[in-house]
Amino acid sequence: MKPQIHPRRTPQKATPLMILTDWLDTIWNLLAHPTPDTFQQEARKAPGKFVSALIWVVAAVTVVALGTMLIYRLPFDFGTIAILWFFAPIAFLFFGFSLDVMYRKVYGAKQSLYDEFLYLVTALLVPFMLLSFLLSLVPVAGSYLGWLIWLYPIFLLVQIIRALTRLKPGQAVALTVLSILLGGTGGFCLPLFLLAMSGVMPGVF
């Protein structure tokens, strides 16, 4: 099954400002104009965004960690932040990898969409990471709101997958759910495995 997306934009020598502009435009368009045409058009910006995607993830978890420490008057813990820097990017990378591999292996697609998946997933989920954190600060109902808000980006993610792959609704839902499970598992287990193999955490495996 061939994805019906526009040809990828030819990578050019982009300045940091151009890269940032691409990200901000994509984030805004995904949230303000969540249509198949938008998803396909924004996917063209994916090439060359690997490093900047990791920077966005690291920046988001840093803001959440520092905000939590400041608001709840917790002592600064660099170790916790360093662990988040390590685990969070791997979880995003593994999630994009799971989407791409399952799409190609299960549904017989030949073209890899890893760059597109990683770019759009990051542009979609990073703002909701920050929004979920802010909502969790609301008294009484905050913890529930912080979790409920995730239903919308998951819905959008299914629509993004459908737009890029032309899968049927049920197939897109299955691909999304399985990739979330695999991405979460891989994002947690793979770093532990690497730490154990490096001797940092002997005896884990």
Say yes or no to pLDDT of 67 above 60: yes
What is the total count of domains within the chain? 1
Q: What are the φ/ψ torsions at residue 153 (nearest 5 degrees)?
A: -65, -30
Q: What is the rounded average pLDDT of the residues 90-101? A: 91
pLDDT digits (tens, 9 = 90+) for 150-179: 999 999 999 999 999 999 999 999 999 998
Asked whether residue 99 is assigned to any structural domain, the reply reads yes
The percentage of residues in the chain with a pLDDT greater than 70, rounded to a whole number, is: 84
Say yes or no to pLDDT of 61 above 80: yes
- Could you list the residue range(s) of the whole structural domain that residue 152 is in? 16-190
Q: How many CB atoms lie within 10 A of CB 198?
A: 9
The predicted pLDDT at position 162 comes to 96
The predicted pLDDT at position 6 comes to 54
The predicted pLDDT at position 99 comes to 94
Asked whether residue 196 is assigned to any structural domain, the reply reads no
Do 154 and 181 meet the contact criterion of CB atoms below 8 Å apart? no
Amino acid (1-letter code) at residue 151: L
